[in-house]
Amino acid sequence: MYKVREFETKQLLHGGDYNPEQWLSMPEILDKDIELLTGAGINVVSLGIFAWAELEPEEGVFNLDWMEKIINRLWKNGIRTILATPSGARPKWLADKYPEVLRVSPDRRRMLFGARHNHCLTSPVYREKVARIDRELAKRFGSHPGVILWHISNEFSGECHCPLCQDAFRSWLKDRYTTIDNLNAAWYTKFWSHSYQSFEQVESPSPLGEIALHGLNLDWKRFVSEQTASFIAAEREVVREYSDLPVTVNLMYYFTQLNYARLAREIDIVSWDTYPAWNKWPLVETAEDNGFWHDVMRSLLKKPYIQMESCPSATNWQGVSKLKKPGLLMAQGLQAIAHGADADLYFQIRQSRGSSEKFHGAVIDHYGGADTRVLSEVSEVSEALKKLTPVVGSRTKAGAAILFDWENIWAMEDAQGPRNDDLHWKDLTLKIYHGLCRLGLNVDVIGEDADLSDYSLVAVPMAYQFREGFAEKLASFTAQGGILLTTFWSGVADGTDLCYLGPRPHGLVDVLGLRSEEIDGLYDWEENELVRAQGEDTLNIESLRGPYTCKYLCELPRLSTAKAVLSYGRDFYAGKAAVTRNTYGEGSAWYVAAHAGQEFFDDLMEYLAAEAGLQGPMGGSLPAGIQVTERTDAEHRYIFIQNFSETAWTVEMPAGEWKPLYGNPDEPLPVYGTLVLESI
């Protein structure tokens, strides 16, 4: 077994998914690919992602020579290979001979052969067949100098409810709960007389049967993530028998089916695929939303990562397929680098002739020549990435963090509570994020298990689930001088979705100096407002005067030591505290009782960042759409300034000595423009 080496690259990587197996009978196309790719400065491809049928046309008959030729030729031409294991789509012979590899849906129907990403991850046969082809690939290419990384499978997703998965779920539950009584207690099965007498009776959630036990639903999701993690680990261990290369899996945008924090423990470097619907919504929103997920991805392993896929022009699966306006390809690629990625890759290198992705954008289109707008913009990105070589390996350090925790989202969304017509946790999180971004602050996005010692400001919006130890961690963070921001619908349930008895938020009432007593759901068209708190035990802050709007959910706290900063303006709870601050130890704990508007979070985050001693490199707050992030290495700081607003922006240089690494600081920064400064 090899000891894995760190992922290393001396240049920023630029390339994409490449499927030469579709063109083996047209060698002139493969020649042309090399010419076009080298001409455009492409230095990496991801190879073999869906090539299983070509690599193993019959069971046990391997045909890897074509791949070797391709890898060699790419390598000779300065293009490195990220080599995929092909387990994302299986060959027909495998499905026909071993039907157990076919996934079973929640309504207990076994699927037919077709599509992709639809196999049972438990099936020993599937695991064995995958291991076999992976072993062949690893033996042949695992120490090839042109191969730099293993791309395990593709975009893991979904779940299987077959008998094998049911058995595996039951043994996972046995390990977790030891006795059926423990399980019954954790899942609260006395409700509606759903108690189990043995583990053998447990079935995965199904629309035909049990969906009402929230503890079951939560544990099933955990199990599916565990099963996926164990599948990844199994593939990783096979390639590691012959190869010391690091491994990645490509993750997806706002994907909440699988706990990515769990999957990240099995890989060496994070990569993800991003397809923002640019120019559908205001640019600043799309850019920030994408920026947030970049931060989620980087924070998983807290080191440089890979933008594994993005579209070089228009996708073919969005409702309306919009072209990328000139300059946007560059902006999107550099946004990844700005948030800490060392690689900007596309789906796909060459557009396929047939089947379901034939109209998906590609670096090389059906026309097949160099004189296309897309290819010339791709070449410009290559040039920009070359200029940015010094940032390779540099890190993103953040003093502020926001909670995004998969298990919390699962539990909260399933809980049937004060608002089943959308809890709006995502917009709330993004409002807080926006408040920090406009100060030009780097932001980490963390789960409940994260170590908080790097941060002076931590925001935990709608942390419904408090797993064991989380409240204590927040308390000691605050006691030691941290600034904590909490909101309504927090500290409600434990890790098995049992509600905490006693005052809420569980374990934080002293820290916050209050308990929350009731929560009111508002219809979409209803609003309340937040106004300056009046009377005793209030704290008036000049920059937080309001009035601000609030909607969706309004919690009603009872204060002990907290000071009210704002209170509700309307309804029967007018005058009751809605935003509070409590001094706790060396720090302060804030509580926001309602889903307030963006203006509120802009003002609040500015105030909290100052309280936490955080300042972005540009000093004060930035105009909407100007994004500033920073990377650092042992010697330098690199500031990325990007314009996702509607107009050009005259750059105000940050304090200190800087030289431009990319872009010209003396000219206004155009829309989609990027300026990168390096400290001198």
Pick the binder of ligand GLA from 7, 169, 347, 404 (CB under 6 A). 347
Q: Is 324 in the site for ligand GLA (CB under 6 A)?
A: no
Quick one: 120 or 550, whose CB is closer to Zn ion? Answer: 120
Tokens of 318: 């969005």
Stretch that binds Zn ion, among 153-161, 175-183, 227-235, 577-585 (CB under 5 A): 153-161
Distance CA 344, CA 335 (A): 9
Distance CA 485, CA 490 (A): 11
Residues within window 253-282 making contact with ligand GLA, judged by CB under 6 A: 273, 275
309 is catalytic: yes
Between the CA of residue 544 and those of 69, 109, 611, 624, what are the distances in Å?
A: 65, 56, 14, 20
Residue 113: count of CB within 10 angstroms of its CB: 15
Q: Measured at CB, which residue is nearest to ligand GLA? A: 273
How near is the Cβ of 91 to ligand GLA at its closest, in Å?
17
Choose the contact partner of 350 out of Zn ion, ligand GLA, none; CB within 5 to 8 A by kind: none
Place of tokens 């557009």: 351
β-strand partners of 149: 82
How near is the Cβ of 311 to ligand GLA at its closest, in Å?
6
Choose the contact partner of 273 out of ligand GLA, Zn ion, none; CB within 5 to 8 A by kind: ligand GLA
Choose the contact partner of 596 out of Zn ion, ligand GLA, none; CB within 5 to 8 A by kind: none
Stretch that binds Zn ion, among 165-173, 178-186, 353-361, 503-511 (CB under 5 A): 165-173
- Within 8 A by CB and 6+ apart from 329, the residues are 312, 313, 374, 377, 378, 381
Q: Is 155 in the site for ligand GLA (CB under 6 A)?
A: yes
Q: Which of 215, 222, 218, 223 is nearest to 196 (CA)?
A: 215
Distance CA 341, CA 354 (A): 32
SS3 call for 417? coil
Choose the contact partner of 120 out of Zn ion, ligand GLA, none; CB within 5 to 8 A by kind: Zn ion
Q: Is 563 in the site for ligand GLA (CB under 6 A)?
A: no
How near is the Cβ of 275 to Zn ion at its closest, in Å?
29
What value, to the nearest 5°, has the Cα angle with vertex 455 and ends 641 and 632?
40
State residue 69 phi and psi, 5-degree precision.
-60, -45
| Contact yes or no for 5/246 (Cβ under 8 A) | yes
Residues within window 592-631 making contact with ligand GLA, judged by CB under 6 A: none
Distance CA 340, CA 393 (A): 9
Pick the binder of Zn ion from 95, 162, 213, 436 (CB under 5 A). 162
Pick the binder of Zn ion from 64, 131, 160, 533 (CB under 5 A). 160
**Residues near ligand GLA (CB under 6 A), total:** 9
How near is the Cβ of 256 to Zn ion at its closest, in Å?
21
Quick one: 11 or 257, whose CB is closer to ligand GLA? Answer: 257
Q: Which of 309, 555, 606, 678 is catalytic?
A: 309
Quick one: 103 or 438, whose CB is closer to Zn ion? Answer: 103
Q: Is 350 in the site for ligand GLA (CB under 6 A)?
A: no
Sign of CA dihedral 149, 153, 158, 161: negative
- Within 8 A by CB and 6+ apart from 377, the residues are 312, 324, 326, 327, 329, 330
Distance CA 17, CA 271 (A): 13
What value, to the nearest 5°, has the Cα angle with vertex 27 and ends 22 and 28?
115
Quick one: 245 or 251, whose CB is closer to ligand GLA? Answer: 251
Q: Is 293 in the site for ligand GLA (CB under 6 A)?
A: no
Choose the contact partner of 122 out of ligand GLA, Zn ion, none; CB within 5 to 8 A by kind: Zn ion
Choose the contact partner of 377 out of Zn ion, ligand GLA, none; CB within 5 to 8 A by kind: none
Q: Is 154 in the site for ligand GLA (CB under 6 A)?
A: yes
Q: Which of 21, 54, 56, 155 is catalytic?
A: 155
Which residues of 370-527 form beta strands (DSSP E)?
Answer: 400-403, 443-446, 457-460, 483-487, 514-521
Residues within window 108-137 making contact with Zn ion, judged by CB under 5 A: 120, 122
Quick one: 272 or 464, whose CB is closer to ligand GLA? Answer: 272
Distance CA 100, CA 120 (A): 8
H or E element, residue 193: none
Quick one: 251 or 284, whose CB is closer to ligand GLA? Answer: 251
383 is catalytic: no
The residues that are catalytic are: 155, 309
Q: Which residues bind Zn ion (CB under 5 A)?
A: 120, 122, 160, 162, 164-165
Interface residues with ligand GLA (CB under 6 A) are 154-155, 273, 275, 309, 315, 347, 357, 360
